[in-house]
Amino acid sequence: MAASATTPSLRDAIHSLWDSNPEVQAARADLEAASARARAAAQPLYNPSVAFEAENADVNRRTAGISLSLDVSGKRKARTEQGLAELTASQASYDLLRRDVAARWLKAWSAATLAEQQRELGQRRVALMQRFDTLAAQRLKIGDISSPERDLAALALGEAQIQLATLQANEASARAALLALIGETPTQPVALEQSLPPASVAITPLPLDRRPELLQARAMQASAEASIQVAQRARRPDPTVSLTGGQVRAGPMNDRVIGISVSIPLPILNTGRAEIDAARAQADAATAGVRARQWTTRASLQESQARYDALRDAANAFGQGRAAAFGDRVALLEKLWRAGEIGTSDYLVQLKQSVDTALSALELQSQVWQAWFDYLSAAGRLTDWVDGRTEEPGNE
């Protein structure tokens, strides 16, 4: 896998995951709800009221009236700004969740792939031990090895079978983690590249304030600050203007009447100051949350980059050394044992070391890929990497 692009099959798999994952679907529904609330907040606050009155007495009265409260304090504007801020926060939360779900899937996918390779290596070890056990039985018959050495071969086969069961259990666990994200076993699993991911310098982290965590925190801060304006506007009373017209009949007299009235509530019993204080406290908390998120995001990037560089350097050094030549070493050991140049115990010790080293190499490769996905997430470039957008942030 190169830094410049992902494979089409991997990209398609992640986009399919985003379409089908229940967590993403729930976040998408929340985003649609936030969009609807933003549209609702932009609507006028007050609807007109219509009233009809009729009275039969000494004076017969027939009137109709219409009244409307006027938003003279700017409540609609404040609510609109808060709705848009909440929509921005919801969009940031949605993007962040998509990134986290993709990261979890990538880590589960790579873990399952490498667990499969470890299980295959465990099966190969069992096959080697079975072959060795058969050869040891034959050599015991002709007196080339002793009975204790023959028992060593049988014990080594039993140990290999036990370790294979452990590897099979690990593979099942890794596949279960993947199944929990996609809901079904993939019919055509995406293959993991054998080469290591690129060096961390191949991906330029996004500026701190453009990373998803900070976008979400700042959007929540903007929403909290907008709520202050909403609370301040809410405590200012709005007048209600009423217009009434009709007829009044008293005996032979029939007069037309028209009237206008203005009413305004008095904020005496509830001044609304407590709501403003609460909104300011929430805004202060959101501002502190932005600072805290800046610190944790910066520290996370440094930690994930250092861990990834260390693991990648170790895996690269292992791949270039003699320890990586597993097949050649196994063949050489059997040749030396057949020739009698090494004893049975030495052969088993060295073969076990070779297999354990090969398994450790696969584990190291898995850790490298896990660290790579963590680094991409911390750098704010995971979704860019998935979609093949790996240019410099300023040039995108």
Binning pLDDT at 50, 70 and 90, where does residue 1 land?
very low
Tokens of 329: 């070493």
Dihedral angle, C-alpha 172, 174, 179, 182, nearest 10 °: -160
pLDDT one-digit tens code per residue, 286-336? 999 999 999 999 999 999 999 999 999 998 888 776 555 667 777 787 788
Label residue 266 left, alpha or beta by phi (over 0 means left) and psi (-120 to 50 means alpha): beta
pLDDT one-digit tens code per residue, 67-82? 999 999 899 999 999 9
The answer to whether residues 115 and 128 touch, using CB atoms and an 8 Å cutoff, is no
Q: Distance between the two ends of the chain, CA-based, in angstroms?
A: 21
Q: For residues 325 and 357, what is the distance between their CA atoms, to the nearest angstrom?
A: 10
User: Residue 395's pLDDT is what?
Assistant: 44
Residue 274 included in any domain? no
**237 in helix, strand or coil?**
coil
What angle, rounded to 10 degrees, do the helices at 75-141 and 212-234 form? 150
User: Residue 321's pLDDT is what?
Assistant: 62
**65 in helix, strand or coil?**
strand
Residue 282 included in any domain? no
Residue 244 included in any domain? yes
Count of domains for the chain: 1
CATH of the domain at 223: 1.20.1600.10
Task: Give residue 378's domain range.
Answer: 8-265+291-395
Q: Among residues 197, 388, 208, 161, which one has the least CA distance to residue 309?
A: 197
Residue 349 included in any domain? yes
Q: Among residues 305, 130, 281, which one has the least CA distance to residue 200?
A: 305
Task: Kindly report which listed range (22-36, 107-121, 145-159) carries the lowest average pLDDT score.
Answer: 145-159
Residue 187 has pLDDT above 80, yes or no: no
pLDDT one-digit tens code per residue, 228-249? 999 999 888 999 999 998 888 8
Residue 235 included in any domain? yes
pLDDT one-digit tens code per residue, 265-293? 888 888 889 999 999 999 999 999 999 99
State pTM to two decimals: 0.79
